Amino acid sequence: MSPQTLAQPAASPAAAPETTSLTGAVATLQALVAEGVDTIFGYPGGAIIPIYDALYDFQPELNHVLVRHEQGGIHAAQGYARSSGRVGVVLATSGPGATNLVTGLADAMIDSTPLVCITGQVFAHLLGTDAFQETDIINITTPVTKWNYQVTNAEEIPEALAKAFYIARSGRPGPVLVDITKNAQMQTFDAPAYERCTHIRSYRPAPVVRKEYIEQAAALINSAKRPFILWGQGVVLGKAEQEFKEFVEKSGIPAAWTILGVGALATGHPLNVGMLGMHGNYGPNVLTNECDVLIAIGMRFDDRVTGRLDKYAKQAQVVHLDIDPTEIDKNVKTTVPVWGDCKETLPLLTALVERKEHPEWLARFNEYTAQEVDAVIREELFPTSEELTMGEVLQQLNEITGGEAVIVSDVGQHQMVACRYALQNQSRSHVTSGGLGTMGFALPAAIGAKFGAPHRPVVAIIGDGGVQMTIQELGTIMQTGVDVKIIILNNEFLGMVRQWQELFHQRRYSFVDIQSPDFVTVAAGYRIAGQRVDDRAELRPALEKMLAHPGSFLLEVMVTKENNIFPMVPQGCSVAEIRLR
Amino acid sequence: MSQEPAARQEYNITAYTENQVGLLNRIAIIFSRRKINIESLNVSPSEIEGIHRFNIVIVETEEVVEKLAKQIEKQVEVLKVYYNTNADVIWQEMALYKVPTDVIAEKVLVERLLREHGARAVVIRKDYTVFETTGHREETDNLLNALQPYGLIEFVRSARIAIIKASDGFHRKLSEFERREPSEDVAENEFLNDREAVFTM
């Protein structure tokens, strides 16, 4: 393979740029510096030793966080990217180091998280020989990367990495993997000055917006009696929170969010009517099937949002704003497709929509909210039962932080509670594994989120199951001294699966009674302060102590064992068939 | 809801791509992930040096084909994807048939068969002869069936290649792609152009 396999036609061969003699390893790290990277999450190994050797001389400008497992490394990079809006960077070695990235890549792919992963690879002459720690990571990761590339010659490195960063962060962001053989890392070559990539001819990250669709969308919205906005992470990825707020406020349309869109409009905003989907709020689900115009912004109609698709919003005309044309008409047939970056399309749309209020329509959402409060929320947040609930932990946390913390949640019942009840004053305040539902995500992601938002408190909320999947990352916390508050909501069950077994499988609790170690003692072994709470009177003081503690703190809260998350849209049901109990 | 079950038929997908190691796999897994069988796949040069052309044949509904085409076009190194029915393209497949030479020499019927099917001898040896035909699937199939009773030794058929009737080639499009500020022409989503009834008041 020659460098030209990567190359576009050379931009300007006229003025030959000055070159410097470098190793591939040094060129790799210089590329990271040139791309503005300051934090890397990684784990060394045989095939990436030359890059680690060069890294020794790149201190302190490239802060390397030594994780305890490559999966922890990539989840940390995801947390970093999500809290900061920058590209997360991961280093791993070949073979098992590289394959340990796969879950994180799949998670980042489905949640559109910009990552650049650099893996070491065996010497080029050993490729295909089943060499020690050789694995075909390019083909393994093809379905779970936006782009990947194997470098076998150092001369390819600057351009490969420039493309990697450009592709990861532009358009609909996503994870990218660059696999660099050991010989390429060691090879000395004449490197031209690093040039950032701004154009790839076969890649069209953002389209030219077509005005006629904006006009049609505005006309449809202006004609609507019961319009309803659904927004997703696209608003956050497009850094269009302000543009979105202006659109919502001018149009006066009630707006609900997917779990990755959370916080793009503050949870306390009067037009924020709550969360969509299987465990979302009552009103947004029911009224999806009563609105006349559905305006979907930067969201992809995931099955957890739509429930049964053939009974989803069939009465509504649909306007869909998305940067990714494959999302348009993928699950829900669109009346007006607005293909483009919402940072660009929203202001155009705002300019054309009429300033309106929809008081009667909004009141209907509030009626449903009142029903949900009576049936579910009040007892969850202010329980009259003796045992603690997950919801009251969130309620107490909200009262202390006022919604200023970055919440990082894992996957399961506690995640739904955290998404439903955590106050969010600003965007990029809730990092969670949405599409893939990766248990074990939260602990490492919280570490990365803190590096990405060092001046904000970061609170990880994790179940007793998920925390045991990546608990080794307590070692990363210990070694880096990063300040992460960890709340384990322990119901002594794999709670979400147990809930399904209770509701749909006749309470046959098959292998969900997970046992846990003494988490406070485990934390103490990593020199992390901790406390266990099983009494209501201790909860508030313990949360205050945790948040005031200098450095990381693990708080284990024993909660009621067999609580269920409601409302719930049972699988195979329409959103209108959402159950309150 | 009075939708008729959408008809599945053969579609010809044409993709213009960069020449990149691994791209074949990236495109192939778009089909295999959805458990869709590729009936025929051909990768060749295109009318432009350095740009490859994939011809892929699948049997699916138009709705599925359109989604697949968009997924292929989404790949970073894919420039453009078109999909067409068989009526929209000129297409050919080539087949080779190896038969014992003595059978052809002795049986007048076989000779006539080969003539009727427009078969051309590529190699003639004492022991066997290789014939070639080019045409649509049923044409190469017909000769295959006809030769089966006469000791057919080997048969192979190529992937389909197809030219789009309505296409004026990729030269102009490529120059648009190479521009940093794309014109409406290339930036527009052609899948959106074909929408039957966009919103009407």
pLDDT in tens, A157-166: 999 999 999 9
Is residue A317 among the annotated active site residues? no
**A215 and A170 within one domain:** no
Element of type H or E holding B94: strand B89-100
pLDDT at A557 over 90: yes
Write out pLDDT tens, residues A350-389.
999 999 999 999 999 999 999 999 999 999 999 999 999 9
Q: Using CA of residue A52, residue A56, residue A61, residue A67, what is the dihedral sign?
A: positive
- Residue by residue, DSSP assigns B140-174 as HHHHHHHHGGGT--EEEEPPPEEEETT---SHHHH
Can you tell me the distance from the alpha carbon of A297 to that of A240, in angstroms, rounded to the nearest whole number?
11
Report yes or no on A377 lying in a domain: no
The last residue of one of the domains, among A143, A160, A192, is: A192
pLDDT band at B178 (very low <50, low <70, confident <90, very high): confident
Between strands A63-66 and A39-42, the pairing is parallel
Statement to judge: residues A36 and A166 lie in one domain: yes
CB contact under 8 A, A208 and B74: no
* A138 close contact with B: CB closer than 8 A: yes
A223, closest residue in chain B (CA to CA)? B201
Is A120 a domain residue?
Answer: yes
Count of A-B CB contacts under 8 Å: 89
Chain B residues inside the 8 Å CB shell of A5: 19-21
Same domain for A246 and A181, yes or no, is no
Q: What is the mean pLDDT of chain A?
A: 96
pLDDT tops 50 at residue B2: no
More reliable by pLDDT, B111 or A532: A532
pLDDT at A542 over 80: yes
Q: Does A18 touch chain B (CB under 8 A)?
A: no
User: What is residue A529's DSSP assignment?
Assistant: E
- Is A496 catalytic? The answer is yes
> What is the percent of chain A where pLDDT is above 90?
95
Q: What's the pLDDT band for B177 if we cut at 50, 70, 90?
A: confident
Classify residue A543: in a domain, yes or no.
Answer: yes
CB contact under 8 A, A328 and B188: no
The mean pLDDT of B17-36, rounded to a whole number, is: 95
Confidence class of residue A16 from pLDDT cuts 50, 70 and 90? low
Q: What is the rounded average pLDDT of the residues A42-52?
A: 98
**Pair A553, A507 in one domain:** yes
Check whether residue A142 and residue A238 sit in a common domain: no
Domains, chain B, ordered by start: 9-88+168-193 (3.30.70.260), 90-157 (3.30.70.1150)
Average pLDDT, integer, range B55-75: 96
Contact A147 B76 (CB under 8 A): yes
Residue A263: CATH number of its domain: 3.40.50.1220
Percent of chain B with pLDDT over 90: 68
The encoded tokens of residue A551 equal 């450095």
Instruction: Indicate the number of domains in chain A.
Output: 3
Q: What is the CATH number of the domain that holds A88?
A: 3.40.50.970
The answer as to whether A573 is a domain residue is no
Residue A515 sits in which domain range? Answer: 386-558
Q: Are residues A34 and A181 in the same domain?
A: yes
Query: Is A12 part of a structural domain of the chain?
Result: yes
Instruction: Give per-residue pLDDT as tens, A84-93.
Output: 999 999 999 9
Residue B9 distance to chain A (closest CA, Å) = 20
| Residue B33 forms contact with A (CB below 8 Å) | yes
| A148 and A259 fall within a common domain | no
Q: Which of B16, B184, B189 to mutate to test the interface with A (most CBs of A within 10 A)?
A: B189
* Residue A15 CB coordination number (10 Å): 6
Q: Are A264 and A241 in contact (CB under 8 A)?
A: yes
Same domain? A311 vs A413 = no
A216 and A181 together in one domain: no
Could you give the residue ranges of the DSSP H alpha helices within chain B? 23-32, 62-74, 101-106, 108-116, 137-147, 171-178, 184-187, 190-193
Is residue A316 in some structural domain?
yes
Which pLDDT score is estimated for A10? 46
Count the Cβ atoms, other than its own, within 10 Å of residue A154.
26
Q: Which residue in the list A35, A70, A134, A241 is annotated as catalytic?
A: A70
Active site residue A182: yes
Contact with chain A for residue B5, Cβ under 8 A? no
- Do A119 and A231 lie in a common domain? no
* In a shared domain, residues A160 and A295: no
Q: At what angle do helices A536-548 and A390-401 cross, to 10 degrees?
A: 40
Q: B79 at the A interface (CB within 8 A)?
A: yes
- Taking the CA atoms of residue A85, residue A458, residue A453 and residue A477 in that order, the dihedral angle to the nearest 10 degrees is -110
A203 — contact with chain B (CB < 8 Å)? yes
Identify whether A244 is a catalytic site residue: no
**What distance in Å separates the CA atoms of residue A432 and residue A466, rounded to the nearest whole number?**
12
pLDDT at position A6 is 54
Q: Spell out which residues of chain A touch residue B6, defining contact as CB-CB under 8 Å.
A: none
The string of pLDDT tens digits covering residues A54-82 is: 999 999 999 999 999 999 999 999 999 99
* Chain mean pLDDT for chain B: 87
Could you say which of A140, A165, A192 is where a domain stops?
A: A192
Q: What is the average pLDDT across A342-347? A: 97
A369 is a domain residue: no
Cβ within 8 Å of residue A413, ≥6 positions away = A390, A463, A489, A491, A495, A496, A499, A563, A565
Q: Which of B64, B81, B183, B192 to mutate to test the interface with A (most CBs of A within 10 A)?
A: B192
List the alpha helices (DSSP H) in A373-487: 378-381, 390-401, 413-421, 442-452, 474-480
Three-class secondary structure of residue A1 per DSSP: coil
A576 belongs to a structural domain: no
**Which chain B residues are Cβ-neighbours of A11 within 8 angstroms?**
none
Please give the ipTM for the structure prediction. 0.92
- CA–CA gap between residue A409 and residue A424 (Å, rounded): 14
Same domain, A350 and A464: no
